[in-house]
Amino acid sequence: MIPAPSLSMTHTAPSRAARRDADRRRKREAREAMRAAGIPDARLLDAAIVDALRDLVLSYGVPNEKTMVAFRDVLRLALDGLQGREQQGIPLNRAQMHLALANRLAPRQD
């Protein structure tokens, strides 16, 4: 028979609050690292995509069932909308904008 470990030897799991605080800290650090690298966050990307879609739909006049929006036009307008933008004083990196926008619209399926 295997003896049970003593109570002093058992490891107690971190509390729910401690795990939540650690998760928040980890996510905050990840967001700060992305911001420092000039990578736009999801809210900024989503706003640029929605603005591009709106502008394209409005530019076509009265929408009907035959109205189609070209994907490349959405990308072009979204990127144009992100040009010159900053996140908390840090300018966005153009290459990172392209990558982040592509990942936001079509994430890789690994």
Q: What's the whole-number mean pLDDT along residues 7-30?
A: 82
Contacts of 70 (CB under 8 A, 6+ apart): 56
* 47 confidence band (pLDDT: 50, 70, 90): very high
Q: Is the pLDDT of residue 72 over 80?
A: yes
Provide the pLDDT confidence category of residue 26 given band limits of 50, 70 and 90. Answer: very high
Q: Identify the residue with better confidence: 8 or 22.
A: 22
- pLDDT (mean) for 13-29: 91
Query: Would you list the domain boundaries of the chain?
Result: 38-105
Name the β-bridge partners of 91. 86
